[in-house]
A and B are shown apart, each in its own frame.
Chain A
């Protein structure tokens, strides 16, 4: 190990993680279309390859060859940079997500002590990608989408962060690895069930997924913030959306379902399998949610966030801290 420089290890690890994450994105997109299809009594994509397994490749080729349009009045620089802000912030979170742990070490690119803060910082920045895209398009629907995104993502991030603070208090650390270690005896979903529900709800809003997809809202805003985007730049937004979805699923696994720790002492199954299974379960929940609930009205969305989720999250936080403080050591 001495001979290999540290930076090379990091680069190789990053490449592996990126490869896995992009593949996961491609197939989670396919499975979302499949699952939505089955829920609506359709077969879903099944033309390209057996069971449509090559559909992501076909989509990628299509995206590649589409014309990349820029509206005449758009701000050219911001318009072109915005998708990259979305994508880079979405990809950045995977740098510190620990997928598993073995005697050789941790299965992650980097291990940051304030891991959870790093992830929340990045998701906050990702609002810029969307709102700048909507603003720079200089078109009314993207602008409306951008306004909604800033309002929605900021107000739901508040409740999201508060719901996670309960977990942080119980674990006594902001490191993702530390949080998983603190759950070896009892997953935080049990003591923090309300926090878990709030996290699940706000995570959907945070990633702009149905039923909180007011930022895109095809039926009202054409395509929302990405109305004017086409070709590869639209593809970048698309990738970013799914990567965010994978991030919040991984985060839910780490924070509430004990990460890679095996349930019921089933340790013969490797930790990475448990991690993937749990994260996949959350991904399925997002698809299930999209197939079930209709989109919320904008004012109700805001009312729900501020008048219900935020007070409940605060209450949860207060009760958790009181219990921890009064607990006999």
Chain B
């Protein structure tokens, strides 16, 4: 007979512990329906911002590509055409691609950018069915003009994604159903799902 088999106080303490845990508040957030609020400067999916007049902030300088430690960013710059100026500067990004599977979400691109064009948003739900769909090009990175200019991390309140629309807050969580489908990223998701179903 070993001593620890009869360590009655330890066993009693063990039973008391598990019993008291029955009534404790558990920290689980029911994720798919309620989302936890993240830190204000959370590093999630990228976004390319605009100026108030609709011009792209990105000037195609490729500094983010150089800064990127994971080689996730590809930028090919081009000269602005005088009749169709895409950005205020001389050049703009003809191609801007981020491989989100390579990205380590360090935020160095954000720091390297001289015009605050590339920012990391708090969005983190990027799962998809094909590898190819993780290469985000300008069509998915750039904020469409009708959805505003995009938000710099410093302007973000409490880490709620700016395009979530009306959010209902309850117990430190944010209801994701509210308004998300009406946003531009929500509409992209919807089209992707439709494409898979069809």
Q: Is A42 positioned at the interface, with any CB of B under 8 Å from its CB?
A: yes
Partner-contacting stretch, out of B18-26, B64-72, B181-189? B18-26
- Whether A292 and B30, one on each chain, are in contact in the complex, defined by CB atoms closer than 8 angstroms, is no
From 19 to 58 in chain A, residues with beta carbon under 8 angstroms from any chain B beta carbon are 35, 37-43, 46
Interface check B127, CB cutoff 8 A: no
Residues of B within 8 A of A304 (CB): 1, 5
Contacting pair B18 A291 (CB below 8 A): yes
Q: What sequence of 0s and 1s flags, for each residue 262-306 of chain A, a beta carbon within 8 Å of any chain B beta carbon?
A: 000000000000000000000000001001110000001001100
Q: Is the CB of A35 within 8 A of B22?
A: yes
For A301, the closest partner residue in chain B by CB is B5
A154 to chain B, nearest CB (A): 21
Binary per-residue interface labels of chain B (6-48) against chain A in the complex, 1 for a CB within 8 Å, 0 otherwise: 0000010011011101111011101000000000000000000
Cβ-based interface call for B130 (8 A): no
Cα A43 to Cα B31 with chains together (Å): 12
Instruction: Say if the beta carbon of B2 comes within 8 Å of chain A.
Output: yes
Question: Is B21 within 8 A of A39, CB to CB?
Answer: yes
Decide yes or no: A41 and B11 within 8 Å by CB, A300-B5, A304-B5 being known contacts: no
Asked if residues B5 and A38 are in contact (CB atoms below 8 Å), the reply is no
Q: Is the CB of B30 within 8 A of A41?
A: no
Using known A-B contacts A38-B26, A43-B28, A303-B1, determine if residue A288 contacts B19 with beta carbons closer than 8 Å: yes
Q: Is the beta-carbon distance between A42 and B26 smaller than 8 angstroms? A: yes
Number of interface residues of B (CB under 8 A): 17
CA distance A41 to B14 in the complex (A): 15
Docked CA distance A206–B22 (Å): 27
User: What 1/0 flags go to A221-251 for Cβ under 8 Å of B?
Assistant: 0000000000000000000000000000000
- The answer to whether A38 and B30 touch across the interface, beta carbons within 8 angstroms, is no
Interface size class of A (residues with CB under 8 A): 10 to 19
CB-based contact A43/B26 at 8 Å = yes
In whole angstroms, what is the CA distance A35 to B17 when docked?
14
From the candidates B18, B26, B28, name the one contacting A288 in the complex (CB within 8 A): B18
Indicate which residue in B1, B2, B18, B28 contacts A39 across the interface (CB closer than 8 Å).
B18
**Which of A38, A300, A303, A307 makes the CB contact (< 8 A) with B21?**
A38
The reply to whether A307 and B28 form a contact with Cβ atoms under 8 Å apart is no
Question: A308–B21 contact, CB under 8 A?
Answer: no
Contact, CB under 8 Å: B11 / A293:
yes
Please state if B30 and A43 are interface contacts (CB–CB under 8 Å): yes
Q: How far is the CA of A143 from the CA of B24 in the complex (A)?
A: 41
Query: Is the CB–CB distance between A40 and B21 below 8 Å?
Result: yes
CB distance from A96 to the nearest CB of B (A): 33
Contacting pair B5 A41 (CB below 8 A): no
Q: Mark B110-140, 1 if CB is under 8 A from A, else 0.
A: 0000000000000000000000000000000
Q: Is the CB of A46 within 8 A of B30?
A: yes
Q: Which residues of A contact B23 (CB under 8 A)?
A: 38
A222 to chain B, nearest CB (A): 26
Known: A46-B30, A288-B18. 6 other contacts (CB 8 A): A39-B21, A39-B22, A292-B18, A293-B11, A300-B5, A304-B5
What is the interface of chain A, defined by CB distance below 8 A to chain B? 35, 37-43, 46, 288, 291-293, 300, 303-304, 307-308
Ordered nearest first, which 10 A-B pairs have the shortest CB separation?
A: A41-B26, A292-B18, A39-B18, A291-B18, A38-B22, A39-B21, A292-B14, A43-B28, A292-B15, A42-B28
